[in-house]
Chain A
């Protein structure tokens, strides 16, 4: 009844090719953005911003980057944590070594460094596929873990091996309070989501999807696999690198290589799969799910008043987490994004289905 596109005629190509062709979608997105930018900073307390919203935003950005590679181009990667680490450490080095380096430029340079590394580790994808590639990308992960732990140059010769950044600011405005950090992340995430959405529905995105669906056939119709695969690696690692830099700078403040370990890579892959492969929206759903689940699981025994030791809780969390992932894959292998679109289809006909 509410969600119906009857009467919304498109009279120009421009109108037909909008990101959100349906009026209700545009309104919904506008309201959502308004809430996120204006209402949330007033409502949310510090804990909510620090522990839930900021990690959620940054991880959704990373998941978005990974989704471009895995969901749109079909190249499985288990080395996302490494590209996040490259972004974070590169941005850190640009900040520390160059005087007066603006934060935003450092973030973008971090992303570009990550792009270079991503393309380098993407080269094997031209020869190997599927699970072989998945394992090959682990090479990036372990190499990065080692490099940032052992090579003093990357950590600016810090003796403890951990690095930290202080006093972030953009154009003279300090980004210190949780609210300003949240707004900063939100703005970046929105810009990247918008760019990514446009990229995947354009020429290059179609090439990626063709390669994903059947690479030989794509090659036959004139898509260059080298170009398509490497651009997917490049764009994906750029976004992931920026997310990594944000994770280090804005969320953690000071960090060690362990912050970008293989667990992080798996976590991001879970987000992409649970959220929905090949869906920008899905990356956000997946990130929300994975960020909220552990909080929820640790809170449940407290609500129920069951005394459980911390160790048992962590084991139970592992078990429930594993079981839920399996359950999810069985019930909805296409992820939360599919549930969302099914819901929208249903809503179109509501309340008078055929």
Chain B
């Protein structure tokens, strides 16, 4: 039972990060109908910005307070993401209004390439550490129930708390603020929202900014765990099955889908992996999502697509 639960926890932690990335996808898809392939590149870009700002601030200003450095770096990185969101809206999406889904998808692939190139050109292409003072020591819990207890990483627990807080904040923002209401209106129906005077351009910038900040948080958590490097961009590919499993338009779907995929991936690797030759993590999530789609084409919580002639 012990190893099983440990794997389960490990899966939940990874799944949580997938959820965060998937959340970025869903936010943008809901509000603008763009399937944002660049979410992974945004995570990389944001994490690189954060890592380098946290390095540069003490170097150039002589400010040597770790908390302040990180806080300022975070704010700067968030600002960078907002500017990026504005640029993407202004230069790319604003000019592609009314195009097919696939054209928009290709445009975000173009953005992906651009961000991967420019992120590394601007911020360097080494492996960087983000040190936000997360404790690294493992702790043992439930020592009474199991022999030897369960090994849990303290860092993971903190990360889970951060992610939960972020999701709660987002929920508050969407439910309680005027902007949040406007965002939900746009997500429901673009034309209706526009006809009652909601400026679509501004809403899209806000949505991309929010997705950028979500990407930043995901990048910081991931980066403080494993370091920031190019492969971070590929994590987004792992988040795609999450999105289709949960449904493209559902925020709870992204979260639950992420956890499901995270857990499924780890458990399958442990229990099925040896039978199939190992390394099945890369495709397990996809095959799971694919099999699931055959039964429920709109995903767990997605809107049912109804066709009319």
Write the residues of chain A forming the contact surface with B, with a CB cutoff of 8 angstroms. Answer: 70, 76, 123-124, 127-132, 134-136, 138-139, 142-143, 145-146, 149-151, 214-217, 220, 262, 266, 269-270, 273, 311-312, 314-326, 329-330, 333
Interface residue from B99, B117, B282 paired with A145 (Cβ < 8 Å): B282
**For the complex, what is the distance from the CA of A149 to the CA of B290, rounded to whole Å?**
22
Interface residue from B101, B237, B279, B283 paired with A131 (Cβ < 8 Å): B101
Decide: B290 and A136 in contact? CB cutoff 8 A.
Answer: yes
Besides the known contacts A136-B244, A138-B240, 9 further A-B residue pairs in the complex with CB atoms under 8 A apart: A127-B293, A128-B293, A129-B297, A135-B240, A136-B289, A146-B280, A216-B309, A220-B309, A318-B120
**For the complex, what is the distance from the CA of A35 to the CA of B287, rounded to whole Å?**
47
Write the residues of chain B forming the contact surface with A, with a CB cutoff of 8 angstroms. Answer: 35, 91-92, 95-96, 99, 101-103, 105-107, 109-118, 120-121, 125, 237, 240-241, 243-244, 248, 276-280, 282-283, 286-287, 289-290, 293-294, 297-299, 305, 307-309
Decide: A315 and B125 in contact? CB cutoff 8 A.
Answer: yes
Which residues in B have their C-beta under 8 angstroms from that of A143? Answer: 283, 286-287
**For the complex, what is the distance from the CA of A220 to the CA of B286, rounded to whole Å?**
33
- Residue pairs across A and B with Cβ atoms less than 8 A apart, 13 shown, are A132-B244, A132-B299, A139-B286, A146-B283, A273-B103, A315-B121, A318-B113, A318-B120, A319-B114, A322-B114, A322-B115, A322-B117, A326-B111
Interface residue from A135, A142, A215 paired with B244 (Cβ < 8 Å): A135
Number of A-B contacts (CB under 8 A): 144
Interface residue from B91, B121, B237, B248 paired with A262 (Cβ < 8 Å): B237
Decide: A326 and B293 in contact? CB cutoff 8 A.
Answer: no
**For the complex, what is the distance from the CA of A158 to the CA of B278, rounded to whole Å?**
18
Decide: A135 and B125 in contact? CB cutoff 8 A.
Answer: no
Decide: B293 and A131 in contact? CB cutoff 8 A.
Answer: no
Which residues in A have their C-beta under 8 angstroms from that of B299? Answer: 132
Decide: B114 and A318 in contact? CB cutoff 8 A.
Answer: yes
Decide: A127 and B121 in contact? CB cutoff 8 A.
Answer: no
Q: Is the interface of B mostly helix, strand, loop or mixed?
A: helix
Decide: A266 and B102 in contact? CB cutoff 8 A.
Answer: no
CB distance from B122 to the nearest CB of A (A): 9
CB distance from A152 to the nearest CB of B (A): 9
Decide: A216 and B307 in contact? CB cutoff 8 A.
Answer: yes
Which residues in A have their C-beta under 8 angstroms from that of B111? Answer: 322, 326
Which residues in A have their C-beta under 8 angstroms from that of B298? Answer: 132
Which residues in B have their C-beta under 8 angstroms from that of A266? Answer: 109
